Structure 1
């Protein structure tokens, strides 16, 4: 960890970088010995990517593909994957002004879902605020990121909670109803996509109800199952939808019926939006 802190201190001196924050499982304390170190590089343009590439080469002893902003897509943004003496250290860009704007939108109850490689459910915009809330700041010379984190940690915005719960209330039943159109054709691909979407909506709503941030799809179902308003068997029932999906119309209809019952239980347990 001392090495990562030293790297963060040096990164904070690169042109455009305002702060560096440790994220992911390392920040949450749920990491294993082989977990990556995810470093969020909070910046304002122009970002000195030439200096970042030089620093990466010095750390790794070789050439590293450090992207320009936007090189990894509209939401993950960009960065680089480094291996330093056997440890995986990922640099992930975050436009700080964009994070501020999204936090303002969260307080007004607005969110969007963006298409992004590696995120089959899509990136929910409020994940940017969640990253700040759960992250561990390693370098923040001006104190700007720490001040933002304090505001985000103070309370989960009620308008955002209401929006996410209300969205699940209409979209989950609607998605299940249109999933049934694929049953006569045995369209397992389409139905699986609908079920995945519904489970994701329920996980988002459960987290919002509890005032907890969802950063991505990984582990979201298991975490949702541990929240106060979740059915006790939420996670195993959600996962079972995909193990038992089948291919015949009868099997597919049964899976949708199971998802319908699960969704109804979850939504009945949530406070009105």
Structure 2
């Protein structure tokens, strides 16, 4: 989306009652800057007027991909992240689920296009940055939570695979791999927007298993070939490497 179109979209949207901020969000992997996040107060927002405005924008050829964000819920998510509380909300279109830290990631990466006079998005950015570029409590909590999730998923999947349940085992490995992606981002002190593109980005971060993306994809190929033994041979090596990375992090922090 070019800057002229973006300005036209903002000029159309910013007058809608209840809308408090318009943000372009993207880290180059998961959400492109063509995506617009609309932060709002639910009891004040005129949803019908919003729908009409979006339709008018689309009719004018200014195609817009947007998502609504209730500003108070985002504020609560950031507060939880700063205190090291991790939650996952299961939602259609998100096979892994929406981790509350993704809302913090949107604020971290987001570029403010417009906000109301009390500057709510700026306030959220400042709140998130209070403990530096990546909150340490969030880092520790993410690592602990998702290493545990990965181990549980792999245990369940292995039992199923040995009984011929390749479909279930593949889904369990997906959950484990997504959990590892969360851990790798936390180890590197990087916010993660969603599971989309997360594997690619995790592969490019300095603290990550060697050839992480290639090896994860190879596991899926082994499952597709009905070869769970080879799949779990690779999975076990990946899990061991993840455990080594996490132990090194813990030793560095304690030292």
Q: TM-score range by the shorter chain?
A: 0.7 to 0.9
Superposed CA offset, 1:25-51 (max 9, x none) = xxx35699xx67211110012211121
Partners of 2:148 and 2:48 in 1: how far apart? 48
The verdict on how the C-alpha distance between 1:29 and 1:195 changes in structure 2, with shifts beyond 3 A counting, is closer
In the other structure, the counterpart of 2:6 is 4
Partners of 2:174 and 2:10 in 1: how far apart? 37
The verdict on how the C-alpha distance between 1:173 and 1:29 changes in structure 2, with shifts beyond 3 A counting, is closer
Greater alpha carbon shift after TM alignment, 132-141 vs 239-248: 239-248
In the other structure, the counterpart of 2:23 is 21
Matches within 5 A, 1:113-192: 113-142=88-117, 143-153=119-129, 154-192=132-170
Provide structure 2 residue ranges, at least 5 long, that are not aligned to the other structure.
none
In the other structure, the counterpart of 2:36 is 39
Partners of 2:33 and 2:83 in 1: how far apart? 34
Detail structure 1 runs of 4+ shifted over 6 Å in the superposition: none
Q: CA deviation at 1:196?
A: 0.3
Superposed CA offset, 1:44-83 (max 9, x none) = 122111211221232233xxxxxxxxxxxxxxxxxxxxxx
1:216 corresponds to which of 182, 194, 197: 194
Kept in 2: contact 1:99–1:129 (CA 8 A): yes
Partners of 1:169 and 1:200 in 2: how far apart? 10
Higher helix share: 2
**When the two structures are superposed, what TM-score results if normalisation uses the length of structure 1?**
0.82
Q: CA deviation at 1:92?
A: 1.0
Superposed CA offset, 1:239-260 (max 9, x none) = 1111221354xx1132122112
In the other structure, the counterpart of 1:255 is 231
The verdict on how the C-alpha distance between 1:109 and 1:176 changes in structure 2, with shifts beyond 3 A counting, is same
In the other structure, the counterpart of 2:243 is 267
Q: CA deviation at 1:91?
A: 2.2
Superposed CA offset, 1:136-170 (max 9, x none) = 11001322202322332443111111111112333
In the other structure, the counterpart of 1:110 is 85
In the other structure, the counterpart of 1:71 is none
Q: CA deviation at 1:210?
A: 1.3
Kept in 2: contact 1:127–1:216 (CA 8 A): yes
Greater alpha carbon shift after TM alignment, 174-183 vs 44-53: 174-183
Kept in 2: contact 1:17–1:42 (CA 8 A): yes
For the aligned residue pairs, the C-alpha RMSD in angstroms reads: 2.1
Partners of 1:209 and 1:30 in 2: how far apart? 18
The verdict on how the C-alpha distance between 1:177 and 1:135 changes in structure 2, with shifts beyond 3 A counting, is same
Superposed CA offset, 1:88-112 (max 9, x none) = 3112110001111110000110011
Matches within 5 A, 1:51-62: 51-61=49-59
